């Protein structure tokens, strides 16, 4: 496949943040694909418990300075970068003082789900897309991992569908076991609407639970990966009904199956969901 460009969007990655199995996959898979000749970029939030000094994060001035609008409020986006020397890979971190500078990730010290997790998710998904645009780097494949990236597919297939950066990108969404048991804010879906979008585009997301986020992402992706063995039955049913190409779960360190799946996705003429 030559120097195909592969973008990973994830909320966790080892060694920076290890919460679930996602962190292992998003550390190993990009390196495996880089070894096979892909050009790689990785984006994740800069949560407050990621140690900047130990991980040698530094701000990328040319990428920072954008504002992400949510609910008519401007939210500054700061971009930082760190390298994984052993893998020759760079990871871009999306930062915002209000949304990410906390000691905990998705719930407070008492285990209470943050009431603004919906806005944090919207900020991350919008910010990831705008950061890639500013990089001037057009990915052949955008691979989203887990619920916090679930809005990226609908944004790319609506607001950004004619944008030169993403016009030819294929979108893959990896589903994992239930990321949270709570519900997003009741206005989450309406807050998520961008230019060129209507309420219909966010209909699947409206329940605001983990299954709904996966359902919305499935609808607008070109291919689906089952990232863990224990995916919810409702979600598996949505995957089946979507009739999208699916990479079944396989606990392998070789990642040859992902390589072949990317090849299948990029070489298929798939119907664009509008």
For residue 273, tell me if it sits in a domain: no
**In angstroms, what CA-CA distances link 228 with 17, 225, 231, 251, 261?**
19, 9, 6, 8, 16
List pLDDT tens digits, range 45-63: 999 888 888 889 899 988 9
Question: What's 35's domain CATH number?
Answer: 3.40.50.2000
Nearest to 140 by CA among 53, 75, 223: 223
Neighbours of 54 (CB within 10 A): 10
The confidence score (pLDDT) of residue 65 equals: 87
Question: CA 211, 215, 217, 223 torsion: positive or negative?
Answer: positive
Mean pLDDT of 22-47: 94
Contact 105, 180 (CB under 8 A): no
> Would you say residue 1 has pLDDT above 80?
no
Residue 215: pLDDT band with limits 50, 70, 90: very high
Contact 4, 39 (CB under 8 A): yes
Query: In this structure, what are the phi and psi dihedrals at residue 238, rounded to the nearest 5 degrees?
Result: -65, -40
For residue 15, tell me if it sits in a domain: yes
Residue 269: pLDDT band with limits 50, 70, 90: low
> Would you say residue 271 has pLDDT above 50?
no
For residue 53, tell me if it sits in a domain: yes
For residue 25, tell me if it sits in a domain: yes
The confidence score (pLDDT) of residue 246 equals: 95
For residue 48, tell me if it sits in a domain: yes
For residue 79, tell me if it sits in a domain: yes
Report the distance separating Cα 64 and Cα 228, nearest Å. Answer: 35
Report the distance separating Cα 164 and Cα 148, nearest Å. Answer: 25
For residue 110, tell me if it sits in a domain: yes
**Count of domains observed in the chain:** 1
Domain that holds residue 76: 5-267
Mean pLDDT of the chain: 92
For residue 188, tell me if it sits in a domain: yes
Report the distance separating Cα 96 and Cα 72, nearest Å. Answer: 16
Mean pLDDT of 236-243: 93
Q: Where are the beta strands (DSSP E) in the chain?
A: 5-10, 39-45, 58-59, 66-70, 73-84, 89-95, 141-145, 170-175, 223-226, 246-247
Q: What is the pTM of this model?
A: 0.94
- Non-local (6+) Cβ contacts of 39 within 8 A are 3, 4, 5, 6
């Amino acid at each position: 496949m030559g120097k195909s460009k592969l973008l990973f969007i994830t909320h966790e990655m080892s060694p920076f943040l290890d919460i679930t199995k996602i962190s292992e996959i998003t550390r190993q898979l990009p390196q495996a694909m880089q070894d096979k000749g892909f050009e790689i970029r990785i984006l994740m939030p800069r949560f407050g418990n990621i140690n900047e000094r130990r991980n040698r994060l530094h701000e990328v001035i040319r990428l920072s300075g954008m504002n992400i609008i949510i609910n008519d409020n401007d939210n500054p986006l700061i971009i930082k970068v760190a390298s994984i020397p052993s893998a020759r890979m760079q990871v871009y971190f999306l930062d915002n003082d209000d949304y990410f500078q906390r000691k905990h990730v998705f719930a407070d010290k008492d285990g209470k789900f943050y009431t603004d997790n919906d806005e944090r998710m919207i900020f991350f998904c919008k910010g990831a897309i705008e950061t890639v645009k500013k990089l001037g780097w057009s990915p052949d494949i955008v691979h989203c991992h887990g619920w916090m990236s679930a809005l990226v597919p609908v944004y790319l297939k609506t607001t950004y569908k004619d944008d030169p950066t993403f016009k030819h990108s294929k979108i893959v969404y990896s589903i994992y076991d239930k990321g949270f048991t709570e519900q997003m804010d009741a206005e989450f879906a309406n807050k998520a609407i961008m230019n060129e979008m209507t309420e219909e585009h966010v209909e699947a997301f409206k329940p605001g639970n983990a299954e709904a986020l996966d359902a919305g992402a499935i609808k607008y992706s070109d291919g689906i990966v089952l990232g863990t063995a224990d995916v919810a039955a409702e979600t598996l049913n949505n995957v089946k009904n979507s009739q999208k190409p699916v990479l079944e779960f396989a606990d392998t360190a070789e990642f040859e199956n992902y390589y072949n799946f990317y090849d299948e996705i990029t070489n298929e003429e798939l119907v664009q969901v509008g």
